[in-house]
Amino acid sequence: MKPISPIMHPLNASIRVPGSKSLTNRALLIAALADGKTCLTNALFSDDSIYFAQALQTLGFDLALDETSHEGSSSTVEMQVTGLGGKIPAQNAELFIGNAGTAARFLSAFLTLGYGEYTLDGDSRMRERPIGDLIAAFKPLGACLGPANTENWSLITDYSCICPPIKIIASGLLGGKTAIAGDISSQFLSALLMVAPYAQAPVEIELSTALNSKPYVDMTLAIMRDFGVTIERDDYQYFKIIPNRYSPINNYSIESDASAASYFFAAPAICGGTVCVENISRRSVQGDIAFLDVLEKMGCTVTETDNCILITGNSSLSSIDIDMRDIPDTAQTLAAIAPFASSPTRIRGIASARLKETDRVAATCAELTRLGVKVEEHQDGMTIYPLELANFQPATVKTYNDHRMAMAFSLIGLRIPGVTIENPGCVSKTFPNFFDVLKKLQVQG
């Protein structure tokens, strides 16, 4: 249990959040595919990235962590990865990736390039998270993969319910034409894009549904370009990748995580004052930087210096009606500050959030209700009503073992007494020292 202490003064703090999870795991995969050694600086050191790094080590890659940069409360580390030009040393491996969604999707795609038999499994929640659309997309490209607990994959007609554990019987990736769904997770498309340069022939991809979280695909393409690979595309509908090779980068710096920063962007909205978040820019390739636009529409002031974004709260917080399908990981952050707005806030377009670490739509509505907030749950989001400070109910907030539930609802505790976070250790998934950084909002006032 973690009680959150309210802050009784306007904020005046400068903080730094860990390196981006999304950038770290994409860079890890690409570095392992490159020809030679890449050094990732400011890489995220958390459960999700550790699962990914350990999986690469299990597969035989030379990957070293410089933990001198992880001393104290830091959540970043330097990672040195020696890529093998698309080769996977191990011919057999069993990989466990906890509840790390990026690791599950990216490694499944990566393993199709190998020559051997691999299994990939996760915890109980991961065994509920669909991966069938990714499996279906790889079939026309010559890959052989499917559910580990099913013997005859040729009889499968419905891929929508397939979840880990999965088995990959790999003999390289042939290439060709395929289609992939984009409405469950953009990570499926990102995984396919990153490994496609190592297919034996060009890969052509068409989207069979509308694409959610488009900025994450933009991020994938940006990292691919950084490592020397560009592709043909028609907006978000068609992609063509010809065989190519990534080039190693001597020093590839990972910028701070925009999703993690969103909590500190949002704090001044309910506490007043100003917070400076370091090592991140509005020009970031991370889509969640757009959460700053949300805060501006609600009345906050956002300014930028050379290496810092400053967010200043207003005396009155306006409500908003917004589609967050492109930035669903910040929807809980908005939900946590919405009760302090002047009128109801409507969050739309986040049906995909029901398939994350928990059903984030249902969980967020349940915990707001626990705190006394009136909220209406919709299939693709929620409507959150304002609540007078005196009418909030002290409560222990359930996290459902979801790091974003813990971090987002901590914001309410900065303004309202009596908020306790259950299972605070779940933040280790992406932000191990979150509560240490949160304290800086109090001591620097």
355 three-state secondary structure: helix
Domain residue ranges of the chain, discontinuous segments joined by +:
2-17+256-443, 21-240
- 166 forms beta bridges with 120, 147
149 three-state secondary structure: coil
Tokens linked to 282: 């509005």
Q: What is the pLDDT of residue 74?
A: 57
The CA distance from 357 to 363, in Å, is 11
Crossing angle of helices 403-413 and 360-370, in 10° steps, is 30
Q: What is the pLDDT of residue 205?
A: 97
- Predicted TM-score (pTM) of the model is 0.88
Does CATH number 3.65.10.10 belong to domain 21-240?
yes
Pairing of strands 76-84, 145-147: unpaired
Pairing of strands 35-44, 76-84: antiparallel
Beta strands in 195-235 (DSSP E): 203-207, 232-234
**Shared fold status for 2-17+256-443 and 21-240:** yes
Which CATH class for the 2-17+256-443 domain? alpha beta
Q: What is the DSSP string of 165-180?
A: -EEEEEE----EEEEE
Geometric angle at alpha carbon 438, from 72 and 346, rounded to 5°: 140
Low-confidence ranges of the chain (pLDDT < 70): 67-74, 444-445
| DSSP type of residue 186 | H
Catalytic residue list: 329
- pLDDT 10s digits, 388-413: 988 999 999 999 999 999 999 999 99
Q: What is the pLDDT of residue 73?
A: 41
- pLDDT 10s digits, 293-352: 999 999 999 999 888 999 999 989 999 999 999 999 999 999 999 999 999 999 999 998
